[in-house]
Amino acid sequence: MSKVYLVGAGPGDPELLTLRALRVLGEADVVLYDRLVSAEILAYVNPQAERIYVGKAKGDQDRVQREILHLLLHYARAGRTVVRLKGGDPMVYGRGAEEWLFLAQHGITVELVPGLSSALALPGMAGIPLTLRGIGRSFAVICGQEQGGAAPEIAPYARIDTLVILMGVERRAELAQALIQAGRDAWEPCAFIENGSTPNERIVLAALEAVAQGRVAVQAPAVWVIGPVVAVREQLQAVAADEPVHAMPVPAYTGMHQARDVVVVERG
């Protein structure tokens, strides 16, 4: 019986693929893959498999998504083993549920192969915990734009300790302004993790106010983390450099945050 696998490719580094994802890629007849799936990950695909790029351009998402659904159904009905390969996790802002529901309604068996979501994996890899006793007891993952491209209503999230915003680069100044207006500390530390876990990784550290003022240059794809936990990265680096650190578990808004500067860290 034909089957469609919804497979998460993780945040970028091919070594972060799951074992199940590797097995399924090696058994695939057809692979439909997104823009954020690298050539290094595609190298694990069955050499005899047909590979179809289905990345979406801005303003063309709905049309391409309809084509994706048509292709998935076409190849599944033809008896092929189909892999829908997505960056991150298919069920976290990946339209995986929409594709699963569509296929199920047409009698196609679907199996989910979860992947590491960039929202959860990349902050930790950058030395930023999403939770920390005393300062980070809650976190939320938010999409930084609505279906039409407008900024979401973010004020209701202002009281959550740690915010992780995906697809928020374009609207970053507007979102930061809204958070400050809703009571968020303007000096609160932020981190943008561009192309996380890849050789092109770049981390931009700044105060929320600098983002609101439009002084932070960032390019997508980037995961945006907001909250006191961002300062833990500085403490970890100080420990590694054998420098004095502030006592845990309450990091201080030090250095760049008090000076309201912007710090860029290139991956070494």
Rounded to the nearest angstrom, the gap between the alpha carbon of residue 73 and the centroid of all alpha carbons in its chain is 27
Which of residues 84, 116, 148 is at a domain's end? 116
Same domain for 29 and 104?
yes
Same domain for 41 and 157?
no
* Amino acid at position 113, single letter: V
Same domain for 35 and 148?
no
Supply the pLDDT for residue 262. 74
Which of residues 116, 143, 160 is at a domain's end? 116
Select which of 3, 56, 91, 185 is catalytic: 56
Which of residues 116, 150, 165 is at a domain's end? 116
Do 100 and 110 touch, CB atoms closer than 8 A? Answer: yes
Is 167 an active-site residue? yes
Supply the pLDDT for residue 255. 39
19, 116, 186 from 121: Cα distances, Å: 17, 6, 26
The pTM (predicted TM-score) of the whole model is 0.90
Instruction: Give the tokens for residue 196.
Output: 């996380």
**Nearest Cα to 224, choosing from 133, 101, 141, 107?**
141
CATH code: domain of residue 84: 3.40.1010.10
CATH code: domain of residue 124: 3.30.950.10
Is 34 an active-site residue? yes
Same domain for 226 and 124?
yes
Same domain for 128 and 259?
yes
Same domain for 32 and 163?
no
Supply the pLDDT for residue 57. 74
Q: What is the pLDDT along the chain (268 residues), one digit of tens a residue?
A: 679 999 999 999 999 999 999 999 999 999 999 999 999 999 999 999 999 999 987 767 888 999 999 999 999 999 999 999 999 999 999 999 999 999 999 999 999 999 999 999 999 999 999 999 999 999 999 999 887 778 899 999 999 999 999 999 999 999 999 999 999 999 999 999 999 999 999 999 999 999 999 999 999 999 999 999 999 998 888 887 776 655 444 444 443 444 356 777 766 4
Same domain for 47 and 82?
yes
Same domain for 256 and 125?
yes
Supply the pLDDT for residue 252. 45
Give the integer Cα–Cα distance in Å for 126 and 192: 10
Supply the pLDDT for residue 257. 43
Number of domains observed in the structure of the chain: 2
CA angle 11, 208, 155 (to 5 degrees): 85
Same domain for 23 and 37?
yes
Same domain for 227 and 153?
yes
* Amino acid at position 32, single letter: L
Same domain for 105 and 137?
no
> Domain residues for 229?
119-266
Select which of 34, 86, 89, 161 is catalytic: 34
Select which of 3, 167, 185, 256 is catalytic: 167
Same domain for 88 and 132?
no
Supply the pLDDT for residue 266. 64
